[in-house]
Amino acid sequence: MSYDSILEGIENVIRLPRFSGRILKEKIMPELESLNPELSVIKNRIDTRQYDHIVISLIRNVFLIELVNDEISSTKMETRWGEKPSVGKKQEEFNSSDPRFASFNDCKKIFKKLVSDLEKNLDDKKIEVLYNYENYNLIPYEIPVDYIAKNNTRIHSSDNIEWFWDVTSQSVVKLRSKLLGKENDHSELFSKMLNNKIKVKTYLTDRVQTGTHKTNREKRWEVHPDSVHFSLRKDCLLIEKELISQVLNFEKCPKEIIESTNGLIKKTKTYCCPVTLEPLNFSNFEAEVLRPIHGISKFQVGHLNPLKSTSLDGKNTHTYQNIGWISDDGNRIQGSMSIEEVRKLLKKISQNYENQK
């Protein structure tokens, strides 16, 4: 057994018309287990389904990257060491000069580190966290592995990637289990809310076809670190929780929903559209999510300060402090302006009307 067969297996799966984690597992799992004895220890601690999810997710997150395709219309799974020229609509090239690039040996080093760390530190609490990632994931191959820092020199390296088990991040996935569990009478609402509204705006990039770093639905932690659309996985989790918290503080949200989160979400003042300052109504939101009308959305997620803004001193990043639900009126009014610019304009307009009286 050698890593050569693992390398070959990964590259063969990448060449298939559609990526399959199941086929990848069949191709390389025996070799991985023989070369990483810690996997057997992990396997004996958890059930087979959970074990498969962890290992396949590690393979996906360590050895592979989902880059925007040539036409910037979707994404394509690639190896971390596979060079990709700039063609089509001139998306950026991917080669050894890119901070996301990593050789197969570098990826192997990351994999062995993460497996070793998990084997040494796996306990019942971490098993529960991993169970929630397996059963309530929003994106494929989701596990608590993230970069330590936004490193624009060599981000994908063994000294810049780790498991994260902090309480705040764990609470987000635990919150999903509360909202999506069968015992929750509103589980259908929250399933559609998370998958149809929150997931895309939180974890995936916007469509950008100009500039150096063009994007369209990549994972935010897999775009170039210099892109304004980059965000660590941990920060994306905080955005998810913030958006859920805002919804549960919409006007007339049933109090039993917040109570069902067991303290994970707190009752605060009624959430209002940050542009119009009108309260957003929970019943109207529920009706839209459960019975959507194509092309019509009165509840949208937006950045308070647009990511493409260049003069906001760091306030225009993809963080939980810079994102919120916005009404359709608020979205039309804001356009490409920052929230401060919008409010200044509205005050000016209001004053102009007063002066006309």
Q: Which sequence spans correspond to the domains of the chain?
A: 3-271
Q: Give the model's pLDDT for residue 264.
A: 96
Q: What confidence tier does 155 reach under pLDDT thresholds 50, 70, 90?
A: very high
The pLDDT of residue 161 is above 90: yes
The pLDDT of residue 311 is above 70: no
User: What angle is formed at CA 66 by the lines to CA 55 and CA 170, rounded to 5 degrees?
Assistant: 50
Q: Give the model's pLDDT for residue 211.
A: 82
Give residue 150's Cα distance to chain centre.
Answer: 15
Q: Give the model's pLDDT for residue 88.
A: 73
Q: Give the model's pLDDT for residue 309.
A: 63
Q: What token pair was written down for 133? A: 């990632």
Q: What confidence tier does 135 reach under pLDDT thresholds 50, 70, 90?
A: very high
* Selection from 178, 348, 325 nearest residue 246 by Cα: 325
Q: Give the model's pLDDT for residue 151.
A: 84
Q: What token pair was written down for 223? A: 């775009």
When the pLDDT of each residue in the chain is averaged and rounded to a whole number, the result is 94
| Location of structure tokens 């020229």 | 85
Query: Residue 215 in contact with residue 68, Cβ under 8 Å?
Result: yes
Query: Residue 234 in contact with residue 152, Cβ under 8 Å?
Result: no
What DSSP element (H or E) covers 324?
strand 323-327
Q: Give the model's pLDDT for residue 2.
A: 81
| Count of all residues that appear for the chain in the document | 357
Q: Give the model's pLDDT for residue 292.
A: 93
What DSSP element (H or E) covers 66?
strand 64-68
Q: Give the model's pLDDT for residue 106.
A: 97
Residue 228: Cβ-neighbour burial (10 angstroms; 0-12, 13-18, 19+): buried
Map residue 10 onto helix, strand or coil. Answer: helix
* Selection from 50, 23, 240, 260 nearest residue 39 by Cα: 50
State the angle between helix axes of 124-135 and 48-63 in degrees (0 to 180), rounded to the nearest 10.
80
Q: Bigger pLDDT: 90 or 326?
A: 326
| Location of structure tokens 């958006």 | 243
The rounded radius of gyration (Å) of the Cα atoms in the chain is 22
Question: Cα(133)–Cα(83) distance, rounded to whole angstroms?
Answer: 31
The pLDDT of residue 315 is above 90: no
Q: What confidence tier does 357 reach under pLDDT thresholds 50, 70, 90?
A: confident
50-100 residue pLDDT tens: 999 999 999 999 999 999 998 888 899 999 999 999 887 777 899 999 999
Q: Give the model's pLDDT for residue 319.
A: 95
Q: Bigger pLDDT: 65 or 309?
A: 65
Q: End-to-end CA distance of the chain: give it in Å, rounded.
A: 85
- Dihedrals φ, ψ of 75, to 5°? -125, 160
31 Cβ contact partners less than 8 Å away, ≥ 6 residues apart: 1, 2, 3, 5, 6, 9
Q: What confidence tier does 270 reach under pLDDT thresholds 50, 70, 90?
A: very high
Write down the pTM of the prediction: 0.94
User: Percent of the chain scored above 70 by pLDDT?
Assistant: 98
Q: Give the model's pLDDT for residue 314.
A: 66
